Every structure is written in structure tokens, then in C-alpha cells.
Chain A
């Protein structure tokens, strides 16, 4: 019943399930659903016209439009389901002579819909047009291979069939393929850009009872590109099964300060939560954050020199990547921590903040490309180190399976939930495994205590929703050795 599980059940619950009928080919006519029609080239014409009309009235204009379709297919122990969601929209943003921003958003991506939005912003017909020298339209983005629903269902089945370690102790098994396909246009008097972002996520979820409590394990991979560009892989799926089946050590877990080795999902979760809570121009409105995390500020944390964190939307295939942000700024990496020194924050152009105020922004992101803009990461990268992760194991615990992290911007206190803690001594596992633990502490201390980084990094996709619109991002991290307070989330085993 984690968010992932809820998502799976949502797909199965609303789109129903086939049980074995579908898998055995005993369903109704095998009609291939037609793909929904998509807005065509005239969208650009409407948007350019809107920009020309608004630029005749306002000193700054930006128009963003999106045509997006989400298709999710899920398979679980009771069957298969497919759900579809379509979202088109446009946001017209202008800055008035007093410097105040006004936005008009519409879900009607039609000539009439754009016209209504222009009139609403301009307060009249706005028939005068500024001269634009945008040149020829950019080349159309690559068209990914079309997928029908049955192919998606097949892909889900393949994930399930990858697993040869399924046993009767697994009480719930599910696979999800989730495809967000968005075409985005960004036009202002100075630019005309277009991108196609096809975000693919694959998940395998396993649940088994351990005593009186369920234990869940999740394997997940996400990328931008074609559905066949990457795959979840047998190893990851079987690892999830093994993790769910693993017998936990009974008895109480003793809370205490420990040396911990964070697996890449936990390390990525930490970096993601920390950056969103502290290293954005929106977070910097809070005085505690300015004091604690501002680059060059008096309270900036002293971090090991080998720690570097970058947000890079240009990373190939990154789930959170893009070619330009939702304010039309071309993608470029932003270094947040360089050699242990905080040196940057993520900013949007309109809201201000250290880089946004007169700067170039670059991380203005709108939920679903149409919501209210806010600074947010794209693809965070914690730079890898020189160690094989086995070399990082010593005395202490390996924390695996991130269950979510929170960082309080006011105090810098971190809480990271982890599915398992494996004990090791002398670099070797003792066999003791504890379910549901939390790593807590002050963020500066947790990062300051880092004594080693693994050389192999893993990228974790994140898709959550704000006001019903999706936010996509990803984080990539290696194994991280640090020190912090580990405690049981469950009071009794």
C-alpha cells in the first residue's frame, strides 16, 4: 500500500482485470485500439500568433503548450488492466510594466481556446501584432514507435515472466508499465522550441508475510526514450522477490548511532529530498534555509571534498531530463555542491532567487507542464567515488529500499525510511536483517559524515502529483557510507 502499490491498484481497479482469460487469448475481438489524434502543426501557428499579439501589449511574453497522453498497464495476481489519460493545455504568461506576472492557462489547445486566453490576458481583442523574427520552425522531434494497449500488456507480462524465484509465499505480485508521452512547445518573442518527452517507468512489486507483518519490495526503472530502449531486467525483478521473501530477524532492533552504508535508492532519496527542501530559490525564502544552506553563507555545511551534486537534465535517457524547462530555458547542468562546497541553487526565472533574480533560471517546472511554475530538480547526480560497494562495507548496517525521505527546511532534520537494514561485521553480513528502519539526523551531519562513495551509481525515477498534475524527476547516486542514528519504525518485530 505504498504509493506505488496504490498506483498499481488504481490501474487495475479502474481498468479492471482479465484474470487468466486475457493471458490465454480468450477475450473479445482482438481489435487494436486506434491511437488518439494529436494536435498537428497548426498548434505552432496559433502559439506564434498569440505571442505576437501579447508582445504588442506586454514587455515580456512566454507561451507554453503541451499535448500529453499517459498510458498505464498493470498485471497482478488477479489480472491485467490498462488505463489512459489525455491532457492538453497551454499557459500564456506575461509580465506587465510594473513587473507583475500574469498567467492564463487553458485546457483547450485549439485556435479558439488560445484566442480566448489571449483576450483574457490582454483585456480585449488584442488585434495588434508585434513583429517577430523567429525564423523557420525547429525540426520536429523524433517520433517514437507507436504502442498499442496489447503491446503494453505484453510488456507487463514479460516483466512477470522474468521472475523464476516467485514462490507461494509471495502473496502479492504486480508489474506496471507507465508511459507519459508529452509534446511541449515553448515560444516567446526570442525563441521557438519544441520537445517530445516520452517517459517510461517499469516496476515490479512483491509482498510476502513475515510473521504478522507484510514485507514489500520494489524494483523500478525509468527513462526517457522508447519503451524498448531499456528494461527492468531479470536481476532486478528477482532481487525484489528475494527481498520480499527474506526472513527478518525477530526481536527488537536497538536504536543507535551507527555506521551505515546507504544503497543507491536510499542515497538518491536523501539527495532528492535535501535538494528540494533546501537548494531551491523557493526554499531560500525561509531564513533558516538561507542561514543553513545558502552557497557561501555563514551556515553553509562543511562537506567532504569528494562530494559533488549536480542537477543535469541533459543526462542521456534520464527520466527527469528535458531539452528546455517550462519557462523555455535550454537545458544545462547546474552544479549544486562542488568539491564539498555548496555553490548553486535551482531557480526559475520568474520567481527570483539567487540565480533567478536577473539570472537565467533554468529549473522552472510546471506540474504536467501546465501547472503553476516552481523551481524543481530534473536529474540529480551525486558523483560516484572510487570504491566497489563491497569495499565500503565494514561494521554497521547496510540500509536498503528507500521508503521515502523528508527534510525539514526549518531545522535541516532528515528522516529516511528504509525497507531493510542488514547487519555486517568485518565487512561480512551477519545474516541479521531488520525490517522498516529509519535513518535520522541533521542533514549537514549526515553529509558531513560521509566517508566513502561507491563507483556504481543507480538512477531512481520519481513521479508524484501536485494538484492532480504529474511531476517527473530522477536522482542518481552510488552507495554512500556515512554515520547516523538508525531506529526501528516498527516497535515490535
Chain B
């Protein structure tokens, strides 16, 4: 097995213009109640990026290795040959910047036996009365070392937990998933308790009546799909390579949607890859680029893009590590009163509080999305009625630019921001 040190020595012997080696030594443990399975894994992943400058320009190659017979010299030769078959216009790597200071290791997992830790988390799970719960926990601990020809040498240890659970009461069930870097941040107990409540609502839920409504997206609906949920289009639109090719919906300096800079609480979004214990944090990126906090949207106007080293060089800027965790500026709206209209001028006569989605389909080109409702509460005239089914189609970029954001903040996985948003003038179909 080729080690990082061997690769670095081989790179030193070969005339390589620029290189980065990243090594991830990972330990994983999985405890799965449904399958009656305990699984452990040890793996090492090494990434080698080589830039080779020739008179015609710069060639780049990326090799992912997990185990390799042969010699480090062969791997370096292969990387250089690959780079020379793909030479692009020249660009220069920027000097390395200081890695971001960020905590990513759960102290409780620093030296723990991961299988025992996973089993302990399952053992401590608070299972709601009257519900059957089967859960699985995967715990990862990894030691990362990144080294570059420009002198960067960064090392850190990180942990990551992924939990899935199926909660069943009678003839109904809900599936949950949570990701976190610390066991304490998983929030599985609260998620199970909320799911048990929602299962009871589902039992009484009826079909929705189509028509106009105000839409409140509660946290589980807003962050459907374990990641950024409805906020994902903003990360996609901040891809600098796509923006350069004119394939994004808006460009830096322009409002993200017509009038987005003139609403009462203009939207603000930042990427922060240096947020302690957030799931997409890291000191440096895969290409040795330092992770930085930067704004994507400020007062409704696009202000920044995720810049890889290559894109940054093309623009004469410093790389920022790309879009990582999203931090959304909270608003002033009180989500505890979801039926409250945004203004007296609103024509909306009912509010649909969406608790959970069946599916969320987003066109990242445009931000157009279809939200299939699994469970919602209709608030009308002081009455509440649980609903299941129905669809809402939204232009998410425009809708979220104008949405009212709750003052309460939550933090989940790669998201920090309002616990709920309220979108006026939606149409339930």
C-alpha cells in the first residue's frame, strides 16, 4: 500500500510543477438494529492532484487511490502522463493560506471504540411510548493530512455520525435521517418524539383542498433530504464554473430575483466552512485551498461565488473553498403563530403549515421546485386540520427571497438559519 510519504517523496524526485496529496484514514462502525448487524471498516483514501505546466498551458490530473500495488513512482508517472493528455490554458496556483481553525471531532469519540459508541447511542435512544423504532447509527472518525508542493501541511481529526430510524405506530410509519459531527448534535430523541406526534396527525389527516394559501415550511419540510433542503438552489447557483459559462440564473451584483433587494427583510446567505462541528466544515479543501467564510447573497443581491483554486485564479481572486455550510440570516417573524398573515393587504385566507414532505424535486438550473406534501396542518379561521397529499410548485429562489424568516434559529447538519419560513401567495394543487 502506498503511503502519503512515499507519494510525496516520489513527487519530489519527479519534476512536477504543482501537486497536492490528501490522505483520509478512516475508521467506521455501523450498528443496524433492523439487520442485526455490527460492521466495522478501516479504509484509507488518498487523493493526488498534479498540475504540470508546459509551454502550451497547464495540465491537471486527479487520481483517487484506496489501495495500490506497484510503486509511488508509477502512480506519479501516471498522474503526470494523465495531466499531459489534458492541457488547458495556463493558470497559476495561489500561495497557500492558513487553514481555517475549526473543531470537527466529537471529544467523546476521540479515542472511543466506535462500534461500542454506536451501540451506546442506540442503547440510549428514547423511543416514544406506543411506537416501534428500529434505528441504525454509523460513526466515522478520520484523520486527514493534506500536503502540497507550495508548503501547505495540514492535519486534523474529524468525526461524523449518520443516523437513520424507522418509527412505526400501527399501520403508519415515518423514516428519519440525521447527520452530525457530535453525538449530542444528532437530535434523534427529539426527532423521534416529533415523528410520533406527526404519526398521530397522519392518522387523522385528510386530503387538502386545492387553492391559494400561505405556506409555512417547518424545519423538517424545509430541510427535507438530509442536506440543505429548499436552500439547495442557492448553493447550485453559486457554482463559479457555471456562472462563468452563463448557466446560472443570476450573476454577482444582481438581485437574485426581481425586487429581492426591496423587500422588508432582504435575504442574506453566507457560506461558512469554518463553523465548528458543522457537517461540511473543513480547514482546507480537497485541492489544498483554505476554507473561508463568504457571502452568497446580501440584502437580496448576489455577492459571491464558491471559488475553487482554478476559478479563483481565472478571476484573480483568492479561493474560498467553495460553498459549504449555509448560514441564513434570521428574520423577525414569529413562527409560533403560523396563521398570522404577513400584512393586512394579503389576500390569503388560509395558512398551510407543512410539517413533512414526501418528496422535493428541484431544478437547480432555475430553482423551480415541486413539493409533495406528506403532512401539513391547515390553519383557517382559528381552526386546525391535518392534511396529507397535495403539491406546491414554487420558484424557490424568488419565493425564498421574499419569504418571511423566523426569528428562531436552528442548526442541523450543514444548515444554520431560521427554523421556519413563511411564503405568501402559494398555490396548493
Contacts and interface: CB of A to CB of B under 8 A. Distances in A.
Interface of A: 1-2, 9, 13-19, 21-22, 26-29, 31-34, 36-39, 78-89, 99-110, 113, 116, 120, 149-150, 153, 171-172, 207, 213-214, 216, 255, 282, 285-288, 291, 350-351, 372, 404, 406, 408-411, 413, 415, 417, 436, 438, 440, 487-491
A14 B62 contact: yes
A39 B66 CA distance: 13
B174 A410 contact: yes
Contacts of A1: 236, 239, 242, 247, 364-365
A391 to B, nearest CB: 32
Contact of B88 (A16, A99, A107): A16
Given A14-B62, A82-B85, A291 B41 contact: no
A491 B393 contact: yes
27 contacts: A1-B365, A15-B61, A15-B82, A16-B86, A19-B89, A22-B87, A27-B59, A28-B54, A34-B81, A36-B68, A37-B68, A79-B86, A79-B88, A82-B61, A84-B61, A85-B64, A86-B65, A88-B66, A89-B66, A100-B37, A102-B38, A171-B245, A214-B247, A287-B171, A408-B372, A410-B358, A491-B394
Interface string B161-194: 0000010101111110000000000000000000
B429 interface: yes
Contacts of B66: 86-89, 107
A82 B59 CA distance: 11
A106 B27 CA distance: 9
A315 to B, nearest CB: 28
B397 interface: no
Contacts of A149: 81-82, 85
A376 to B, nearest CB: 14
B56 A105 contact: no
Contacts of A106: 41-43
A88 B68 CA distance: 8
B69 A38 contact: yes
A32 B242 CA distance: 32
B77 interface: yes
Nearest to A112: B1
B411 interface: no
Contacts of B42: 105-108, 116
B88 A415 contact: no
Given A79-B88, A102-B38, A102-B39, A171 B391 contact: no
B88 A27 contact: no
A89 B67 contact: yes
Contacts of B59: 16, 18, 27-28
A415 B173 CA distance: 20
Which residue, B64, B168, B172, B388, has most C-beta atoms of chain A within 10 A?
B64
Interface on chain B toward A: helix, strand, loop, or mixed SS? strand
A351 B34 contact: yes
Given A14-B49, A15-B60, A36-B78, A103 B358 contact: no
B361 A438 contact: yes
B68 A101 contact: no
A106 B44 CA distance: 9
Contacts of B54: 27-28
Interface string B368-406: 101010100000000000001101011100000000000
Interface residues on B, range: 35 or more
Nearest to A80: B86
A78 B391 CA distance: 40
Contacts of A39: 69
A1 to B, nearest CB: 5
A84 B372 contact: no
Interface on chain A toward B: helix, strand, loop, or mixed SS? mixed
Interface string B277-313: 0000000000000000000000000000000101000
Given A27-B54, A31-B84, A213-B365, 19 more contacts: A13-B308, A15-B61, A17-B88, A18-B87, A19-B57, A33-B77, A37-B69, A37-B74, A82-B61, A100-B37, A103-B38, A106-B43, A153-B85, A171-B246, A285-B34, A417-B361, A489-B363, A490-B366, A491-B395
Contacts of A17: 86, 88
Given A82-B61, A82-B86, A489-B363, A413 B389 contact: yes
A100 B30 contact: no
Contacts of B114: none
A118 to B, nearest CB: 13
A77 B312 CA distance: 21
Interface in B4-38: 28, 30, 32, 34-38
A37 B86 contact: no
Q: Which 8 A-B pairs have the closest CB atoms?
A: A16-B60, A107-B43, A105-B41, A88-B67, A28-B84, A85-B64, A37-B70, A103-B39
Nearest to A255: B429
A27 B84 CA distance: 7
Contacts of A82: 61, 82, 85-86
A13 B241 contact: yes
A42 to B, nearest CB: 11
A112 to B, nearest CB: 9
B92 interface: no
B348 interface: no
Contact of B374 (A13, A101, A150, A408): A408
B45 interface: yes
A485 B22 CA distance: 50
Contacts of A89: 43, 66-67
Contacts of A214: 247, 365-366
A406 B359 contact: yes
Nearest to A411: B358
A29 B134 CA distance: 58
Contacts of B310: 13, 16
B273 to A, nearest CB: 18
B315 interface: no
A359 to B, nearest CB: 16
Contacts of B49: 14
B339 to A, nearest CB: 25
A406 B239 CA distance: 26
B152 interface: no
Given A82-B61, A110-B1, A26 B56 contact: yes
Contact of B393 (A18, A172, A488): A488
B132 to A, nearest CB: 9
Contacts of A13: 241, 308, 310
Contacts of A33: 77-78, 81-82, 85
Given A1-B236, A84-B64, A287-B170, A16 B39 contact: no
Contacts of A36: 68-70, 74-75, 78
Contacts of A19: 57, 88-89
